[in-house]
Every structure is written in structure tokens, then in C-alpha cells.
Structure 1
Amino acid sequence: MSPVIRPLRSLANGFGLAWWARVETSAPTVTYWFGPFLTRRGLTNELDSFLEDIHSESPGSVDHVILRTRRGEPLTIEG
């Protein structure tokens, strides 16, 4: 990754312009935030790998939505 990308991602996130995926599972009930990305295409290119990792944990269901938003910690929320 270019040394310029990380600060740009942080700046975009600070302004609410970064792309994120909110992934929600049941059994267990967990919300995962995946991002930030500068472009929607960048997010969608990486999302399949992330979803495969989630599916390997055998949750009851997995749903996701792609959002342009600002997000901070925590990136994993149980409950």
C-alpha cells in the first residue's frame, strides 16, 4: 500500500466520505465494520475475501450493506 493511501483514507473517513461495509451476522449476533476505502470499487474488490472469512465461522446468516460514512472504533460489536 502506498504511504499516501493511509492518510487519505483517514481524511476521507474524518469527512464521512469513506466507503465501509457493515456486515451483520446472526447466531452469533455480531456487527462487523470493514473499511475504510477511498472508492466503492476498492471496497467491493476486497469484500468477498472478508465475507468468506465471516462465512468460515458458520454464522446463522450474513447480511451486508455498503455505506459512505464516517466510522471509528469499535469495528466489531457483539450483541
Structure 2
Amino acid sequence: MIRNFGNKLGLAWWAKIETENPNTTYWYGPFLTKKSLKDNMSSFMKDLTDEGSTEIKHSLVRCKKDEPLTF
């Protein structure tokens, strides 16, 4: 898949999302463009909120990311 190829090259866009409760870091991606990542963020953020996560912070990062995607 082209997204996976872009990720292997370090060209994919990821969201790094950190929550306080639970104290967790999530990686959401990969996406080919920053716009497509932004367009899909709201549903992921809503899922975290619906699950009871609080103090949610995020940053958009262009990088190569491997497993694990949750810490």
C-alpha cells in the first residue's frame, strides 16, 4: 500500500496524541497528506473522549513510525 511505502521512507503524517487519564501515548496514522490526517482526527479524538480519556494533547508529525503505536 502506498501509505506504508511513504511511512517506510519517513514521508507519512502521524498524529501523536497524549492523554493524562489514562497516561497513554497513541500514534494515529499513517496518512499521505497532512490535510487527510487533519480531516480524520476528529473521529479518533471523539473515540478517546467517549472512552473517558482526559487532558488530550496532540501534535502532527511527519516521520517513520513502527509498532507499537500505543504506550
Runs of 4+ in 1 over 4 A off after TM superposition: none
Matched AA of 2:49: H
Q: Deviations over 1:20-63 (max 9, x none)?
A: 00000002100010000000011011000000000112223100
Query: What residue in structure 2 maps to residue 27 of structure 1?
Result: 21
More strand by share: 1
Larger Rg: 1
Unaligned regions of 5+ residues in structure 1, if any?
A: 1-6
Aligned residues: 71
TM-score w.r.t. the length of structure 2 is 0.95
Identity of aligned residues (%): 42
Task: Work out which of the residue numbers 44, 49, 53 in structure 1 matches 2:47.
Answer: 53
Query: What is the distance in 2 between the residues matched to 1:59 and 1:18?
Result: 26
Aligned-residue RMSD, C-alpha: 0.8
Query: What residue in structure 2 maps to residue 74 of structure 1?
Result: 68
